[in-house]
Amino acid sequence: MKTPIRLVALALACALICAGSAYAQTYPNRPIKVLVPWPPGQATDIAARMVADKLVPVLGQPLVVDNRPGAGGVVGSEAASKSPADGYTILAGSSGPISISPNVEKVAYEPLKDFVPISLLAVNPFMLVVNPSIPAKNVKELIALLKANPGKYSFASSGSGATSHLMSVLFNSMAGVDAVHVPYKGSSQSITDVVSGQVAYTIETVPAVSSLVKGGKLRALGATSLTRAQAMPEVPTIAETLPGYEMFGWIGFMAPAGTPAAITERISGETRKIMQDPEIRKRFLAAGMEPAGNTPAEFGVFLRKQNDRYGSIVKQAHVKLD
């Protein structure tokens, strides 16, 4: 009896593989939605659009970017997790809603179960910036100012539980300072209020703040990575003042769980080719993002490590959403 059962199982597996391959050969035959859980102009949006534009000619169908911001990227990520697993919805995933939020709050999706990885697009350092009116020219002076005025100054984030929030919480914790958290629905709004002086400081992506720093509307104090940001090498790292401080964001393509492997492998392969394009790499670096590109399996390992890492940081920093 065992042999027939095994033969049936093998036949079924082969049938499924053949069906998946056949489906992949006809894919895509209509537009593909790229769901970005952040507002236009945010780092994830910029990266997703650059790669999506290059995927259009090789896939032969339009890739339509759908921005659905809210709750630090959770709203759009949840929408993607509930989308049909047919290859026509791609999530522009990022560290906030995928690696961080599930560790600090209850979300309606399990990142490592409800999504399948496609390819990592980029990793990016963030930058600690202040309104120019703040009397602090570097990280050391900002820490001294905040310590001398507990609870007086506020910091902005792109949402409770977002990458910028956790980075600020870790910074405040390691520096031993007390500041008021002001969450927003996206980085554009939070940065705007730092520029206007309504909020003292924030930690945001290099692409989101570099032009404002160059224009004198914000003052950059420190990069969150261990090495200086390639786009702003003149700015020291936070770790040069707070040894051991290191955090960075990541951006990558993912799809709803159940999406045929033949499709995710195809998109991943085309994406990796795009990420090796010298012009694309130049554009990513100019935007303050370090280009990547890997296989679904490699991206899966990366995601598990990031989830564990941020989970550990959340516990150590005693993060509580407000």
Q: What is the pLDDT of residues 219-234, one digit of tens each?
A: 999 999 988 888 899 9
Task: Tell me what percent of the chain is helix, strand and coil, each rounded to the nearest 5.
Answer: 50, 20, 30
Q: What is the pLDDT of residues 265-288, one digit of tens each?
A: 999 999 999 999 999 999 998 887
* 125 preceded by a cis bond (ω within 30 of 0): no
User: Domain boundaries in the chain?
Assistant: 32-124+249-317, 125-240
What is the pLDDT, as a whole number, of residue 313?
73
In the predicted structure, residue 1 carries a pLDDT above the cut 50: no
Residues contacting 73, CB < 8 A, separation 6+: 37, 38, 44, 94, 96, 97, 98, 101, 159, 162
How many whole angstroms separate alpha carbon 225 and alpha carbon 123? 10
Residue pointed to by tokens 């003149």: 234
Residue pointed to by tokens 């995601």: 303
Q: What is the pTM of this model?
A: 0.74
Domain 125-240 is found in CATH 3.30.420.10: no
Domain 32-124+249-317 is found in CATH 3.40.190.150: yes
Residue 11's pLDDT band (cuts 50, 70, 90): low
Tokens of 164: 């910028």
**Average predicted confidence (pLDDT) for the chain:** 90
